[in-house]
């Protein structure tokens, strides 16, 4: 597996953005007919050009939710994207996907506060994930309960580090996940927020197979 990636775009994940994200499921529920006004009032915007049915938050990250309205639904899953990666596809020797995938990554990089690198390395992506992990640790006041390098949640590209935290009600998984918009050829760097009811018991650190499955249950919709 290559240690290179064709392109990386990202925006730092700040503690305030994480605190807001964790709080969205517990905010007052907003009727669907009032949601467009709430989006505008918060300084958010729709990000359908990046991911279908996604929102660009006031912190500049892309929010996706199982629910059309992300506020007030603690039983639904949410994810916050702070990085987009175009991995090297070992089967795409002629770079046939480049002409349509590079512009997609460019669209991410053009968002306010986002930066990019082309080409980049897996280590560049790991540094982005590590900085985000530091912010989550500060926000929650605890280090991750599990850390594992895995490619379980991606379609193409290398394995990267996943980190897992739990609150009393939710699991937070930080790591890579396939961007299912362009058929998994791109990879999100994301923080997922999932009700613990999906799988409350966290496998032991040495049971990597079970841990991979636990992560997949929480980040895959």
Instruction: Identify whether the C-beta of residue 176 lies closer than 8 Å to the C-beta of residue 160.
Output: yes
pLDDT at res. 69: 87
* Crossing angle of the two packed helices 15-23 and 122-140, in degrees rounded to 10: 70
Q: Which two tokens stand for residue 149?
A: 């390098």
The model's pLDDT over 29-48, given as tens digits with 9 standing for 90+, comes to 988 899 999 999 999 999 98
State pLDDT tens for residues 130-180: 999 999 999 999 999 999 999 888 888 789 999 999 999 999 999 999 998
Structure confidence at residue 106 (pLDDT): 96
Model pTM score = 0.94
Q: How far is CA 206 from CA 77, 130, 141, 202, 211, in A?
A: 27, 21, 24, 11, 9
Output the pLDDT for position 2: 65
Q: What is the largest CA-CA distance in the chain?
A: 51
Helices (H), the chain: 15-23, 32-41, 98-109, 122-140, 208-219
Numbers of helices and strands, H then E, in the chain: 5, 11
The pLDDT confidence band at residue 95, using thresholds 50, 70 and 90, is: confident
Q: What is the pLDDT of residue 209?
A: 93
1 pLDDT higher than 60: no
**Residues sharing a CB contact under 8 Å with residue 66, sequence separation 6 or more, in sequence order:** 73, 76, 77, 78, 221
């Amino acid at each position: 597996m290559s240690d290179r990636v064709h392109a990386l775009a990202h925006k730092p994940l700040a503690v305030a953005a994480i605190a807001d994200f964790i709080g969205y499921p517990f905010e007052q529920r907003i009727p669907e007919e009032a949601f467009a006004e709430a989006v505008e009032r918060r300084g958010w915007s729709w990000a359908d050009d990046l991911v279908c049915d996604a929102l660009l938050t006031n912190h500049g990250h892309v929010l996706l939710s199982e629910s059309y309205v992300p506020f007030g639904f603690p039983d639904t899953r949410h994810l916050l994207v702070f990085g987009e990666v175009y991995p090297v596809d070992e089967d795409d020797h002629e770079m046939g996907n480049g002409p349509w995938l590079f512009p997609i990554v460019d669209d991410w990089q053009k968002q306010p506060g986002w930066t990019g690198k082309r080409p980049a390395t897996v280590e560049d992506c790991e540094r982005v994930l590590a900085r985000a992990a530091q912010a989550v640790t500060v926000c929650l006041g605890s280090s991750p309960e599990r850390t594992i390098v895995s490619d379980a949640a991606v379609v193409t590209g290398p394995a990267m580090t996943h980190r897992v935290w739990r609150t009393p009600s939710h699991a937070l998984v930080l790591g890579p996940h396939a961007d299912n918009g362009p058929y998994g050829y791109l990879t999100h760097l994301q923080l997922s927020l999932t009700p613990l009811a999906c799988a409350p018991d966290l496998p032991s650190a040495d049971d990597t197979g079970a841990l991979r499955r636990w992560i997949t249950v929480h980040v895959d919709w």
